[in-house]
A and B are shown apart, each in its own frame.
Chain A
Amino acid sequence: MNGDWFLSWISGAILYAAPLLYPTVGEVLGQRTGMVNLGLEGLMLLGASTSFALSVRLGNPWVAVFLGAGVGLLANLIYAFLVVKRNASQLATGLALMFFGLGVSALLGKPYVGQMAAALPKYPLLGPRSLLFRYDLLVYVAFLLAALAWVFLFRTRWGLQLRAVGENPAHAYAAGISPARVRLAAACVVGFLAGLGGAQLALGVTQTWSEGMTAGRGFIAIALVIFSRWNPLRAIVGAILFGGAVVLQLQLQARGIGISPFFLDMFPYVLTLFVLLLWGRGVRHTAPASLGRVYFGTEERGG
């Protein structure tokens, strides 16, 4: 083990952290309003496949990335409508959305498997000659976004209102906030950021499209939300940790260490489980109180 190896590991960890950070920060905001969205994986895949396809067609990765994120937003409106307006179960709706995204993204992406798309341009952090720490703009933005999300949540009026809805929608309503509106807005953000994460993964990190390429990152993001205790700044730590695990696993495979590649593939996910296991204590007190519950409105108590 030498310094180069370590630097390239850090460099890779940050790269792999970014596409996780988008859905994680989005989901932190969503869960802070009381919504669990198990459909993140599907949203990421939709963002990835549409942006990849558009980049191939249009040749402009930026337009493709934002259209991909927009598709994520639109797809999550299905979830928002069912959960907020029709009081559907969040878990069932989320899972349905996940499979919907999986199928539709595979269909849309089919003609583009193995093709080359216009990738996002890279900007080196350490000067033009270093091969490490060269990231596309969206990597930098991801970390900035996490910090901004923290400020938004804990230092702004809207963040306060958003958290109030997640703790107790009935009381938030009594405070003059519309829980439905807050949740709809949050669902749009969740969809957009999940789509953006997928798009960045396809056009910034892997620069290819293959079916199911997000490989469970949507679910890892949900785990990271719990790990972060619904705090966007801690989500950065979680994302780097998972990104680091992925890179470490790739590095070990590249070195031809005598461990089954299937076992190594498993490593980041086992790490996630393990961290959640250690981290599980005390989570109960920080989780938004209305998380996962259906809010039926206020006219249910007799006087």
Chain B
Amino acid sequence: MDKSPVLRAEGITKRFPGVVANNRVNFDVHAGEIHALLGENGAGKSTLVKILYGFYQPDSGTISLDGRPTPIRSPREARGHGIGLVFQGFTLIPALTVAENVALFLSKLDWYISPKKLAAQIQEASRRYGLELEPKTPVWQLSVGQQQRVELLKLLLTRARVLIFDEPSKVLAPHEVDTLFGIFRDLRNDGYSLVFITHKLREALTCADRITVLRQGQVAGSLNAQDASEEKLVELMFGEPLKEVATRERGSKFGKPILELVDICTRAVGTTPALRQVSLTVHEGEIVGVAGVSGNGQRELGDVILGLIKPTTGKKIFLSQEATAWPPARMIGQGVAFVPEDPLAMAVVPWFSVLENVALLSPKRFSLYGGLGMAWDKARAVARAGFERLGLNPLPERARAASLSGGNLQRLVLVRELSRDYKLVVGLYPTRGLDVRSANAVRQAFLQARAAGKGVLLISEDLSELFALSDRIVVMLRGQIVGEVRPDQTSLTEVGRMMVGVGHG
């Protein structure tokens, strides 16, 4: 390409207390190009795109647009220059409707907002790209996957030339990722510049024209997609080759049932699906996988098990005791470890430190003098042992949870939950947002739990993960369990078909 890049960043350095997030990073993107930014968790990808979007100011380095040095002092300026960013944690406002959230980002909005006109505009764009969004729905009623579509819609309706996505596939089901990448390609062909962050090699290889790999805040390498291969990228990302997660023999002898759900139904709230006649049993020493496109009742299933929502009919039996009406505190106390879908909102107190969050759920275990003090040393030891057992790099104990990246938050929650004395672990997308190595460590931890006779309910969209780990897989669609299979007797495509409701053949 002989034209100068649309956007070029040179020698970008950004320090945060204790870390150099970006160290003399060079990065550029041309018109009509998809550029993947690849790297492990904490490699500095998010920081880099936030600098390009003016959300952070670099400590040094320059950014040029169309070859002219242009400082970007705020997101507003970035948007003025035609740069749009979809954040990893979305920037939607839950209390506002889809239409209002989109309108906030429209640069050429009339002073008077006609709800009808706006809705028509949104529906048109939404239909053209198959986003299926109802303009009047408040955003708090949408699933994570739907929320991303709102974010996408926002960029499509603003006249941005450079579209940046911070881990767009993280919240999507496999077939939604394909759709998204299809849209990426259409946009590229229309001359847009696209940048997306990922830590999945396959995504970078299938979708990008060019791939830049970041490692520990520095550019480890940048290559064209046709010159790249999985091995090359892995080498750049980690500096060492990785072992695949071991698939193990599947037993069919399990212990006593730990959790039994019998004909559970719930009431639908807003647009969230209701559970309908869900029956499910998890035995000791068994991993039950729940496959499904997110937003088909998985969150509600987890909420029912934890006791956050009460079923309208049906029974929940935990450790042979009727537990239908138990509040979350009792479920947790009796041995449920829970990794929710959105850890920042549901599992941690954002302004508590890592250590405080670890101690949060077991205050009695770490209490001193009958509750008048806290045994922080003990909590620290438990946290350290937890990170070690899971094979994860420990997190800084004093860092506030809110300051952690998505992957690190997920690690914090996993370590805390699996360090307690539990009988059943319920994981909603537990490896989402984790890099390959951490994800494998988590999978190993689930296998260890299984070997120790615990029950595991693994809710995931990663089919290969479900196939590698599960003893049984149930498939959820629109709040119902539409199928139950043994991974060694079925195929990925069949489960995939059940997930989207195409025949059972």
Contacts and interface: CB of A to CB of B under 8 A. Distances in A.
Contacts of B112: 155-157
Interface string B273-313: 00000000000000000000000000000000000000000
A52 to B, nearest CB: 37
Interface string B90-104: 011111100010011
B301 to A, nearest CB: 24
B104 A303 contact: no
Given A155-B112, A156-B112, A167 B96 contact: yes
Interface string A122-160: 000000000000000000000000000000000111101
A178 B75 CA distance: 10
A164 B93 contact: yes
Nearest to B47: A303
Contact of B92 (A161, A163, A171, A300): A171
Contacts of A112: none
A298 B55 contact: yes
A303 B76 contact: no
B113 interface: yes
Interface string B106-138: 010111111100000000000000000000000
Contact of A175 (B16, B56, B104, B114): B104
A281 interface: no
A160 B92 CA distance: 13
Interface string B42-86: 001011001000011100000000000000001110011000000
B373 interface: no
B96 A164 contact: yes
A172 B100 CA distance: 12
A172 B75 CA distance: 10
Chain B interface bracket (under 10, 10 to 19, 20 to 34, 35 or more): 35 or more
A164 B104 contact: yes
A168 B96 CA distance: 11
Contacts of B21: 302-303
B104 A172 contact: yes
Interface string B474-501: 0000000000000000000000000000
Nearest to A158: B111
B405 interface: yes
Interface in A252-303: 286, 288-289, 298-303
A300 B56 CA distance: 10
Nearest to B110: A157
Contact count band on A: 20 to 34
B16 A160 contact: no
With a 10 A CB-CB cut-off, give which of A160, A161, A173, A177 has the most chain B CB atoms.
A160
Contacts of A157: 103, 109-113
Contact of B87 (A156, A164, A167, A174): A174
Given A167-B96, A289-B95, A300-B403, A160 B113 contact: yes
Contacts of A172: 93, 104
Contact of A303 (B46, B79, B91): B46
A302 B403 contact: yes
A111 interface: no
B157 interface: no
A156 B93 contact: no
Contacts of B115: 155
A176 B80 CA distance: 9
A171 B93 contact: yes
A167 B95 contact: yes
A289 B399 CA distance: 25
By CB atoms of chain B within 10 A, which of A156, A172, A298, A302 has the most?
A: A302
A245 to B, nearest CB: 31
Given A174-B91, A289-B95, A303-B47, A156 B113 contact: yes
Contact of B94 (A155, A289, A298, A302): A289
B19 interface: yes
14 contacts: A157-B110, A157-B112, A161-B104, A164-B96, A167-B94, A167-B95, A174-B75, A177-B104, A302-B17, A302-B399, A302-B405, A303-B16, A303-B47, A303-B56
- List the 8 closest A-B pairs by CB distance, nearest first: A303-B47, A176-B76, A302-B16, A171-B91, A167-B93, A174-B91, A303-B46, A302-B403
Given A164-B93, A303-B14, 18 more contacts: A155-B115, A156-B111, A157-B103, A160-B113, A163-B96, A163-B100, A167-B93, A167-B95, A171-B92, A171-B93, A172-B93, A172-B104, A175-B104, A175-B105, A176-B76, A300-B402, A302-B399, A302-B404
